[in-house]
Chain A
Amino acid sequence: METDPNVILLGEDILDPYGGAFKVTKGLSTRFPDRVFTTPISEASITGVAVGMALRGMHPIAEFMFGDFITLAADQIVNHAAKYIGMYNDQVKLSMVLRTPVGGGRGYGPTHSQSLEKMFLGLPMFHVLAPSHFVHPGEILVQAISRGYPTLFLENKLLYPELLKLETQMGAITRRVHFDQYTYPVVELSNFPDDRKADIAIVTYGGISRLVGSILSKLAEEEIWIKACLPVCLSPLPINLIQNMTKGAEKILVIEESSPMFGWSSEITTALYEAHAGKLAGPILRIGAENSVIPASKPLEEKVLVSEEKILSAIVEVMGW
């Protein structure tokens, strides 16, 4: 916002002193009073207004208070934001970001806990980003705005309080960063020295990254060597990079917070089978939430959502092959 006067924020309840439901925009309306707009509760037209502003060369960043509310803007995303560049034969740019908190684990119940990104994957001119705390989310946001593509920027609620983990060596974990064809990062975390190779490759993104560090540390002590691959850009998929990064691992887990059916992990898994057919020790395991609503009752919510426990027992299972 400092460097570009065309960056405008839109969202519900984002003005100071409240500063947004998750406080992400706190302080901004005070510093930039002409460029932060509080909106009525109108997700469809908030998105539509952002599209119109982007058509006219501005850089709107619009917020949905909860990711569960994206569906109210579905037509604006699918038939407007994701279409103009392609159907107008590349005559327009559409630099706009829709940011929203996603994910469960806080007991908010079925319509305030979802990760609905699977509904918006696979739209050719629409990017979906889900940074982990192993990258700098602010830098990703700046990148997204400068791209000229309409972008959905997913902020996992349970990552909000996490500290960023950007060092190359963090205990047993080595962090490397690769870049995909859109120059978004794909983080590689490994818990083994250079003269070893991975027993297991894990591919995951967003909120699940929160569990990955602890799992890798624990398993380093058991000498179970794991390479975790954490893309930021979910769609379009940096699939060549992910295929290369998982080469050589005979056991692969693909993990996402949402239910695995018909989702991102289905796509990754298929692509990894295509690349590594015949070289795997067994099937690629997909881990995700139960195929149900996400209940409000906390103990039950924990059973429905992905947990460190679930991932560890999957790892025990594949190590037994």
Chain B
Amino acid sequence: MLSLAKSPLTDQRNEVREIIEAFYRQMYTIRKVEQTLLDLFAQGYITGTVHTSMGQEACDVGVVNSLDRSKDILFSNHRAHGQFLAYCDDVEGLIAEIMGKETGVCLGIGGSQHIHKGNMYTNGIQGGIVPNAVGAALAEKIKSTGSVAVVFLGDGTMGEGVVYESFNIASLWSLPVLFLLIDNGIAQSTPKHMEHAGDLETRAMTFSIDSASIEADDVIKVYLTACDIVNEIRERSRPFFLHVKTSRLGPHSKGDDTRSKEEIELLKQKDPLLSIAAGLPSDLRMQIEQTIDARIQQAVEKAMMAGHPGLEQLRRVEL
């Protein structure tokens, strides 16, 4: 029974506000960086390709914030900008990297899909990095560091055989791996029902891997769910499969969205930024957005002025 004289929850409202604010900052940063990258592309300042995570911010921010940034390890794929920004907030390094500049996180050599910083690793082969995550978890278990390895998968990734090999080994050897399936219902141009027999939610259970499935409309829900799961993984050193349903608001890469305008409009109504923003007073929200807009603007200007990497900076084999 709550005491009417003093509600204990009143003392915690500041902490709650801080979390909401922090999450909004991270999510808005991701959204704005992704939009900026698409604009830069259209203007010819970026070559190659980018796979943006607009619409998936609740997954990225919710999961990454549930980790221990000092020791947990992240593995991801081509659509990892959001996870990278939530992990280390290196807006400047990411933009420069994607613009192919030597001030980028990997000197501009990796680009959008091949990024490494701290304990985060990404690669552009669907499913390929999944056994690397399992191996990293094995190494950390042997070294007794208590670290958890999270590996992000997409619904499309679930077509690759090596994913199932990884489930098997992670469970057989009891490794602290969080298999995080970000299911946005579409793999490039192909909807889920044309790619997968059976369902995605339960297939890890065949390998005796505990599993759960949630909707990612609300970053707080994703965060709290992930916190409990990550703690369990860390304590029991057992893998876990968390299936998170979300929506990709942007195209697969650029200009290649095969869905109808109506379908996309419907998805926009469930934009995860809307619900988190509603928890902030509008003047604070505007201030946050302006600060981030200015930071991104500066990051772009800095990157524009930086040089490209030279041949002598590239690891080569001399015969």
Chain A residues engaging chain B, CB cutoff 8 angstroms: 8, 34, 37, 39-40, 42, 44-45, 47-58, 60, 75-76, 79-80, 83-92, 124-125, 236-237, 239-240
Contact = CB atoms under 8 A, between A and B. Distances in A.
B140 A56 contact: yes
B138 A76 contact: no
B132 A91 contact: no
A45 B136 CA distance: 12
Nearest to A39: B169
A104 to B, nearest CB: 29
Contact of A40 (B143, B172, B313, B314): B172
Report which residue of A49, A50, A76 has the largest number of chain B beta carbons within 10 angstroms of its beta carbon: A49
A8 B142 contact: yes
Given A40-B172, A92-B116, A80 B128 contact: yes
A86 B314 contact: yes
A50 B162 CA distance: 14
A48 B110 contact: no
B315 A56 contact: no
Nearest to A125: B315
Contacts of B314: 86
B125 interface: yes
B109 A45 contact: no
B138 A53 contact: yes
Name which of A87, A236, A237, A239 has the most chain B CB atoms within 10 A of its CB.
A87
Interface string B117-146: 000010101001111111111111011000
Which of B132, B134, B139, B143 has the largest count of A CB atoms less than 10 A from its CB? B132
B166 A45 contact: yes
Contact of A52 (B110, B115, B132, B313): B132
A58 B135 CA distance: 10
B169 A87 contact: no
A206 to B, nearest CB: 21
A58 B139 contact: yes
B114 A49 contact: no
Contacts of A8: 142
A35 to B, nearest CB: 8
Contact of A80 (B107, B109, B129): B129
A200 B140 CA distance: 54
A51 B130 CA distance: 11
Given A44-B162, A76-B128, A50 B319 contact: no
B131 A48 contact: yes
A86 B131 contact: no
16 contacts: A8-B142, A40-B168, A42-B168, A45-B165, A45-B169, A47-B131, A48-B165, A49-B132, A51-B131, A52-B133, A53-B135, A56-B140, A56-B143, A80-B132, A90-B315, A125-B317
Given A56-B140, A236-B317, 15 more contacts: A44-B161, A51-B132, A52-B131, A52-B137, A52-B138, A56-B139, A58-B142, A76-B131, A80-B129, A87-B110, A89-B106, A89-B315, A92-B116, A124-B317, A236-B319
Contact of A48 (B128, B173, B315, B316): B128
Interface of B: 73, 106-107, 109-110, 114-116, 121, 123, 125, 128-140, 142-143, 149, 161-162, 165-166, 168-169, 172-173, 313-317, 319
B125 to A, nearest CB: 5
A42 B130 CA distance: 13
B139 A45 contact: no
A239 B316 CA distance: 16
Contacts of A57: 139
Contacts of A76: 128, 131, 162
Contact of B106 (A34, A45, A54, A91): A91
B165 A42 contact: yes
Given A88-B114, A91-B106, A52 B319 contact: no
A45 B162 contact: yes
Contacts of B107: 89
Contacts of B165: 40, 42, 44-45, 48
Contacts of A236: 317, 319
Contacts of B315: 85-86, 89-90, 124-125
Contact of B134 (A49, A54, A58, A240): A49
B132 A55 contact: yes
Contacts of B169: 39-40, 42, 45, 49
Nearest to B167: A45
A53 B114 contact: no
Nearest to B169: A45
A90 B62 CA distance: 31
A79 to B, nearest CB: 5
A210 to B, nearest CB: 28
Nearest to B117: A91
Of the listed residues B116, B131, B140, the one surrounded by the most CB atoms of chain A closer than 10 A to its CB is: B131
B109 A89 contact: yes
B145 to A, nearest CB: 9
